[in-house]
Amino acid sequence: MSDKITKSPQIRFAGFIDAWEHCRLGDVTERVTRKNKDLESTLPLTISAQYGLVDQETFFKKVVASKDISGYYLLMNGEFAYNKSYSKDYPWGAVKRLDLYDNGVLSTLYITFKPMKVDSDFLVCYYDTHNWHKEIAMRAAEGARNHGLLNITAADFFDTELFLPKTNDEQQKVGSFFKQLDETITLHQRKLELLRDTKKSLLQKMFPKDGANVPEIRFAGFNDAWEKRKIGEIFKVTRGQVLAATETSENKTDEMPYPVYSSQTKNNGLMGYYKDYLFDTAITWTTDGANAGTVNYRDGKFYSTNVNGVLLSDEGYANKAVAEALNCVAWKYVSRVGNPKLMNNIMSDIMISLPLAIEEQNMISEFFESIDHLITLHQRELNSLDNLKKSLLQHMFV
């Protein structure tokens, strides 16, 4: 074994000191080429499966029914497939394990295989790293020289190299660790989705439906009917100003203390921080582009770029409740001819239902601010877990 190439990861479980050994994927896995026609009588009528080259987000999530699949590969639960198609998140395709209760069928355009001398969970997390990309990239480049296109054959794929722990025990520990981490991440994703769904449901019930003048749910002590008001009647409708991203700071500092909001939806529209501000507590909406009609409440002093419209009020209408009410309907008024737009004159004419009492508006505002705070906390925790996984994948594999 002394002639083998060995390496060790930067982080590993206590008690394991042997270096990891270099091998070919074909040495530890076996290609799967069984066809569905060989086991046709054992298949259910509807088969959880993936056919054809699709985006990896829907990998193994399609259902095949009443379709001629006799020439497709049949995969058993726990077997792997390599999807060679490119996407934003998977520049060299994706390797996924079939984790379904039933068997699955797969286009023969895929490369399918099963683990033989390697722990299955270890292999799953290995393909979550980018370590194998350089191998695929090298072979793709060779294919391009030879054939004028990017070409990964099954032989190329199984000739890719990887490093494995010598013992199954270490493989299983690594695989089990990342499996538990993935389950934790999934749990947090579900909690975040539940909170977002809860907020969506409450928005539907705490604001009047079309034709109604009171909501289904409201705080105790408020009985008056809500009234419809035109945005232009209760707000000064204006717009932000041009500001180059290069003039902003990524982080808040004493010199750059004011948040700058733009049309992006990432990070609640925060583009960076600037030395000056334009507005103090207002409602903004995206006027142009894919996110046109997105409405946000902005508390405190801030700068807004020119792709945002701004609603100003001296009477307390610039609050979270009004922003949420407007956000529920603004998308209906976006012009979809060419570049999506929601201009100031159209915004001014939008009618929304509001409670007469500012006190009720404030209570609704505080309620939804608390929900948004919870959503933000869960999103940060999820981001932290995702970043932790990325870091561990970099340091626990070679």
The stretch 81-103 carries a mean pLDDT of 76
Q: Minimal CA–CA distance to 278: which of 314, 236, 310?
A: 310
Amino acid present at 356: L
pLDDT of 281 over the 60 cut: yes
Exposure string of 227-260, with b = 16+ CB inside 10 Å and e = fewer, is eebebeebbebbbbeebeeeebeeeeeeebebbb
pLDDT of 243 over the 50 cut: yes
Q: Which of 144-148, 188-192, 314-318 has the lowest mean pLDDT?
A: 144-148
The stretch 54-81 carries a mean pLDDT of 63
Proportion of the chain above pLDDT 90, given as a percent: 68
Question: What confidence score (pLDDT) does residue 73 get?
Answer: 80
- Contacts (Cβ under 8 Å, ≥6 apart) of 299: 281
pLDDT of 143 over the 60 cut: no
Interior angle at CA 281, CA 283 and CA 216, nearest 5: 50
pLDDT of 2 over the 60 cut: no
pLDDT band at residue 218 under the 50/70/90 scheme: very high
**CA–CA separation, 29 and 396 (whole Å):** 21
Question: What confidence score (pLDDT) does residue 47 get?
Answer: 40
pLDDT band at residue 74 under the 50/70/90 scheme: confident
Question: What confidence score (pLDDT) does residue 56 get?
Answer: 39
Amino acid present at 246: T
- Here the tokens at position 296 are 């946000």
Residue carrying the six token digits 């419809």: 228
pLDDT of 4 over the 80 cut: no
Q: Which of 88-97, 100-109, 286-295, 378-387 has the lowest mean pLDDT?
A: 100-109
CB atoms within 10 A of CB 335: 13
pLDDT of 60 over the 60 cut: no
Distances (CA, A) of 18 to 59, 259, 361: 36, 51, 65
pLDDT of 52 over the 70 cut: no
pLDDT of 9 over the 50 cut: yes
**CA–CA separation, 142 and 195 (whole Å):** 49
**CA–CA separation, 193 and 202 (whole Å):** 14
Query: Which is more confidently placed, 264 or 221?
Result: 221
pLDDT of 144 over the 60 cut: no
Distances (CA, A) of 344 to 50, 280, 309: 47, 19, 7
The stretch 270-288 carries a mean pLDDT of 96
Do 347 and 230 meet the contact criterion of CB atoms below 8 Å apart? no
Q: Minimal CA–CA distance to 107: which of 67, 148, 151, 156?
A: 67
Do 153 and 143 meet the contact criterion of CB atoms below 8 Å apart? yes
**Which domains are assigned to the chain?**
1-18+165-208+357-398 (1.10.287.1120), 21-164 (3.90.220.20), 227-354 (3.90.220.20)
pLDDT band at residue 6 under the 50/70/90 scheme: confident
- Here the tokens at position 41 are 């009588």
pLDDT of 69 over the 50 cut: yes
pLDDT of 333 over the 60 cut: yes
Query: In a 3-state reduction of DSSP, which class is residue 76?
Result: coil
